[in-house]
Chains A and B, each alone.
Chain A
């Protein structure tokens, strides 16, 4: 047996590995009542059982080389995964993991992405007694002692907790994000189980690349559950953007922040949907899109700082006309290899064909002098061209046009559908950022001189 399959089977609870009790029963059990419908109960235990069940299914698939059998088992697996999605008590950590994995459509079966991506997890809302315990544990005092005032109702949900408004003793208004207790280790456990499930799935091809990507997801989840890391990233981003007066990253109050609590300056503004609903003038739309692009390009081009969370929940249109960027929980900073790759792509952007070819090979993880898969390379090139189109355009580019953004989406779909499993992990995050930003600009219907911003932000070191 393949050592990987052996590892997966060894991880099964014993009764499952030997075909034990009718697990379908466990998996199909009714959904808990009331408030818990939205939450999840001690996720990792149930997750282990459910994933164990899936692994039993997989076993047949691994042991038989017969293609027909393999397909049948794959169908079974997909049914089981759909079932998994209906189990509300798994949603907690699973949704975070699902979101992360959804960035790797090549890594996970379609059903998985669909089910996990659709899960809308709300951490079970914390009532004030629980909140009080968290504040006591984390900040060493009652909310009423630590803050001048503290609103007992959350004003926003966070993916792993909730956000409360408060006022500091020194008078500043702040947003206090508090994480649900014990969620971090639940996610760790669930991910370990999920990895065991996924590894054998892709045994056939590119196992090294799969492993690399899973490791990347794991690291990212690790970062996202640690608010200390988020505090540091936010402080960095704030200092990187200090030179752009129209872009605000909230100040972090470190003395009131821990692994589970993040206290930041409260930004007064609205999210994209509300901003657009107010039917703002074209000029204001353009201005905010320009602010967004300036911020993102400066972070990336000058500091190798990838703001991967470029989605509408994390951009605030401030009452005073500035743009607020929040949530740096899953940021990445390019390492040396990744910088080198970006330099190659920058040269490619400037018309250096040799660099282009080398960059594409690197980006698609085509190593050892292999010529690569021509179809994948063609699609990747087309995607780059699409990405660079607004940068090459002179004067304001219409990012809201019906032609531009939807075309990119179709291209990306084709890339995903082709199921090429090889990709440099950092590409995933860069794509996420630049696609997210373009999606935002599209919804803003904005016209921006992207090329000018790019040239300005690139400065001396030529980077994409």
Chain B
């Protein structure tokens, strides 16, 4: 029996839903359990996601995609690039907050769901040339660094993350202004 594209999409959706719920506690995030709860064979899960980490990343990408959307619909007029990038990233962290502890070193590169909207912002504020691959690579690294910092941030209300984000974005945006 051939699996229709629709059935495939539905399975994917179920897997992501279950995985999202279980990502809240590291001990709950077991592929066998996730597959069972989503009603698919354990092996089938790996047709969709080659590794457990890939599944977790997909959950996060989706959350970040939603965050980027809500950011876009609530942009403040006259805001500067730094302020906008800050708001974009914070919208993402808010969606990821339930899984904060699990995120430490989940990502290898900046999540596309954030890097793309960031690219658009940079292009909009500083022109297309400023939004080149080097800048995006730096942005991605900055984001990964932040994520791992945030994941382990023990300061009250993770206020240290805010300070780190503020300063690193300041540096990042300054580097866009002066390419030398």
**A interface list, Cβ under 8 A from B:** 32-36, 39, 41-42, 124, 126-130, 132-134, 137-138, 152, 180-183, 185, 260
Contact = CB atoms under 8 A, between A and B. Distances in A.
B174 A127 contact: no
B84 interface: yes
A36 B84 CA distance: 18
The 8 A-B residue pairs whose C-beta atoms are closest, nearest first, are A34-B174, A127-B83, A182-B163, A129-B86, A181-B159, A129-B87, A181-B162, A137-B157
Interface string B145-180: 000000000010101101110110011011001100
Interface in B67-92: 76, 79-80, 82-84, 86-87, 90
A151 B90 CA distance: 21
A133 to B, nearest CB: 6
Contacts of A129: 79, 83-84, 86-87, 90
Given A133-B90, A181-B159, A185-B155, A36 B167 contact: yes
B26 to A, nearest CB: 25
A133 B162 contact: yes
Contacts of B164: 42
Contacts of B171: 32, 34, 36
Contacts of A41: 167
Given A33-B174, A182-B159, A185-B155, A128 B76 contact: yes
B79 A127 contact: yes
Judged by DSSP, the binding face of B is helix
A182 B155 CA distance: 8
B116 to A, nearest CB: 19
Contact of B170 (A35, A133, A260): A35
Contacts of B86: 127, 129-130
Contacts of A137: 157, 159, 162
B178 A34 contact: yes
A181 B166 contact: yes
B166 to A, nearest CB: 5
A124 B170 CA distance: 10
B163 A34 contact: no
A249 B127 CA distance: 50
Contacts of B174: 33-36
B167 A130 contact: no
Contacts of B162: 130, 133-134, 137, 181-182
Interface of B: 76, 79-80, 82-84, 86-87, 90, 155, 157, 159-160, 162-164, 166-167, 170-171, 173-174, 177-178
Nearest to B90: A133
10 contacts: A32-B171, A34-B171, A34-B177, A127-B83, A128-B83, A129-B79, A129-B87, A130-B86, A137-B157, A137-B162
A423 B171 CA distance: 45
Contacts of B166: 124, 126, 130, 181
Given A130-B162, A182-B159, A185-B155, A36 B79 contact: no
Contact of A182 (B82, B83, B160, B177): B160
A137 to B, nearest CB: 4
B43 to A, nearest CB: 43
Contacts of B157: 137-138
Contacts of A36: 167, 170-171, 174
Given A32-B171, A129-B83, A185-B155, 6 more contacts: A39-B167, A128-B76, A132-B90, A180-B163, A181-B162, A182-B160
B75 to A, nearest CB: 11
Contacts of B159: 137, 181-182, 260
Of residues B155, B159, B162, B178, which shows the largest number of chain A Cβ atoms within 10 Å of its Cβ? B159
A180 B160 CA distance: 10
A127 B178 CA distance: 21
Nearest to A36: B170
A181 B178 contact: no
Nearest to B155: A182
Contacts of A152: 76
Contacts of B170: 34-36, 39, 124
A152 to B, nearest CB: 8
Nearest to B71: A129
Nearest to B174: A34
B87 to A, nearest CB: 4
Contacts of A185: 155, 160
A33 B170 CA distance: 10
A124 B173 CA distance: 15
A240 B80 CA distance: 45
A459 B90 CA distance: 57
Contacts of A127: 79-80, 82-83, 86
B77 to A, nearest CB: 10
A34 B80 CA distance: 15
Of residues B82, B90, B170, B178, which shows the largest number of chain A Cβ atoms within 10 Å of its Cβ? B170
A357 B155 CA distance: 51
Of residues B87, B155, B163, which shows the largest number of chain A Cβ atoms within 10 Å of its Cβ? B163
Nearest to A134: B162
Nearest to A259: B156
A140 to B, nearest CB: 11
A321 B167 CA distance: 43
A222 to B, nearest CB: 15
Contacts of B155: 182, 185
Nearest to B88: A129
A181 B155 CA distance: 10
Nearest to B162: A181
Nearest to B74: A142
A42 B178 CA distance: 22
Contacts of A138: 157
Contacts of B76: 128, 152
